[in-house]
Amino acid sequence: MREGIFEEGQRVTVQGHLEEIRDLGGLKFVILRDIKGRVQVVFNKKTAAQELLGLIDSTSRESVVRVVGRVKKDARAPLGFEIEPESFEVLSKAETPLPIDVAGKTETNLDTRLDWRFLDLRRPEVAAVFKIQSKLGKAIREFFDKNGFYEIHTSKIVSQATEGGANVFPIFYFKRTAYLAQSPQFYKQMMIAAGFEKVWEIGPVFRAEPHHTPRHLCEYTSIDLEMGYIKNHLDVIDVVEELMVYSLDYLRREAQEELGLLQKEIKTPSRPFPRVTMREAYSILSGRGINVEYGLDLDPTGERELGLAIKEKFGHDFVFLTEFPWRVAQFYHMRKSEEPEWTNRADLLFKGLEICTLAQREHRYDVLLSQAKEKGLNPKDFEFYLNFFRYGVPPHGGGALGIERIVMQLLDLKNVREAVLLPRTPERLVP
């Protein structure tokens, strides 16, 4: 927190965490840190008041302090200027020793960092991840706004699992059992049936799956979009592609400071992104000695390897994997009319990791009904959903992206938990 004009001789106020005291005897350098960065305050034994010097000696690292003083230009100071204090006040004293190394001299394990997330976030490199995520959110909102999408907010408390195998979290809902939503997908589609044409939403989704991997979370932030009057899934692919290009270009321009801190560079990806059908992917992978059963989804190794293959061939970090087999598709996916064993469902891989799934939805009531039966589902269980299709619904499709995975891949983080403030994993519920 800085107030005043930071020019020679001006009186300014700086409030922040005391990062370090470099005590040289007659000269003390105090490094303050606020959300903008670091500021150096210099105390001179000859000129500073004795009680200030004593106070500094008794102030622990990471205490919150307020300094009022004069700006003095000095080439030897890290910012080219430093502050000669008139007053030094401790607003909140930090206990010692600190439970984690905030200064970053030892590399603390992620799990311990997460136990003390508020201290961990004081490290500028950690804060930078979330500043970038904030800016990414801004870019995404801007993109949808400019492209005529209405932002919606759907309920995260639902009466039943959508379908499929994903586990849900049951909750008490008065006298009934309800569940935390795994996806806003049905509600997005409801808005298409309602005539909204283009909608999007950003919000939490919940997965009660006991994964122990660097890319899964029990709660994550999903960016969802749904569009009416599409020709097929390629229209959705185009929008997702534009969204990624817009967002990455925005970050390249607007997050230079944070990216520099993390020593990362973002290049605006070229369009169109490479696209391969699942059928092509099987053959690319088998050519590289990776065996994926024909007609099944790729496993994590297959995705990584395909990412590498695309990088080698096209120099591109993104690839759309299209036309998923009906065998692994959901009942509501639109099948290709001429080849019903394949569907208008696609994934977007970013550096070999799935960051988006999208599809054209089946909007023909009778077809949807028969597909549900084919998948062994009881239409009674999601009647509210099927009703959307009985009273006129535009052909439509949409997709969902995980914001944490985007940030993870963008910044080459080793674990998606680094891209969430408060990760929820099977074992972690605190903080």
Partner RNA sequence: GCCCACGUCGUCUAGUCCGGUCCAGGAUAGGGGACUGUCACUCCCCUGACCCGGGUUCAAAUCCCGGCGUGGGCGCCA
Binding site for RNA (CB under 7 A): 20, 22-27, 29, 40, 42, 44-46, 60-61, 74, 76-78, 82, 96-101, 103, 105-112, 162-166, 182-183, 185, 205, 207, 209-214, 216, 222, 297, 299-301, 330, 357, 400, 414-415, 417, 425, 427-428
CB 344 within 8 A of CB 277: no
CB of 120 to RNA, least distance (A): 11
CB 423 within 8 A of CB 413: no
Residue type, 8: E
Give the other-Cβ count within 10 Å of 231's Cβ: 9
Report the chain's terminal Cα–Cα distance, integer Å: 26
Q: How far apart are CA 212 and CA 222, in angstroms?
A: 20
Nearest residue (CB) to RNA, 198 versus 207: 207
CB of 117 to RNA, least distance (A): 13
CB of 252 to RNA, least distance (A): 27
Q: How far apart are CA 292 and CA 335, in angstroms?
A: 22
CB of 223 to RNA, least distance (A): 11
Closest CA to 237 of 315, 324, 295: 324
Give the other-Cβ count within 10 Å of 54's Cβ: 10
CB of 303 to RNA, least distance (A): 8
CB of 209 to RNA, least distance (A): 5
Nearest residue (CB) to RNA, 245 versus 413: 413
Nearest residue (CB) to RNA, 78 versus 195: 78
Beta bridge partners of 397: 227, 360
What does 343-386 look like in DSSP terms, one character per residue? Answer: BSEEEEEETTEEEEEEEEBP--HHHHHHHHHHTT--GGGGHHHH
Nearest residue (CB) to RNA, 255 versus 398: 398
Nearest residue (CB) to RNA, 100 versus 152: 100
CB of 25 to RNA, least distance (A): 2
Nearest residue (CB) to RNA, 36 versus 271: 36
CB of 368 to RNA, least distance (A): 13
Nearest residue (CB) to RNA, 53 versus 234: 53
Nearest residue (CB) to RNA, 50 versus 106: 106
At 28, list the tokens. 């003390």
CB of 261 to RNA, least distance (A): 14
Nearest residue (CB) to RNA, 357 versus 409: 357
Going through 264-343 in order, the beta strands assigned E by DSSP cover 275-277, 318-322
CB of 298 to RNA, least distance (A): 8
Nearest residue (CB) to RNA, 37 versus 269: 37
Show the DSSP H helices in 154-299 as ranges: 185-193, 233-254, 256-261, 278-287
Residue 84 Cα distances to 34, 37, 73, angstroms:
18, 18, 10
Residues 6+ apart with CB under 8 A from 140: 202, 223, 243, 247, 403
Residues 6+ apart with CB under 8 A from 73: 8, 80, 81
CB of 169 to RNA, least distance (A): 12
Nearest residue (CB) to RNA, 102 versus 248: 102
Residues 6+ apart with CB under 8 A from 123: 102, 104
Q: Bin 229: left if φ > 0, else alpha if -120 < ψ < 50, else beta.
A: left
Report strand pairing: 275-277 vs 318-322.
parallel
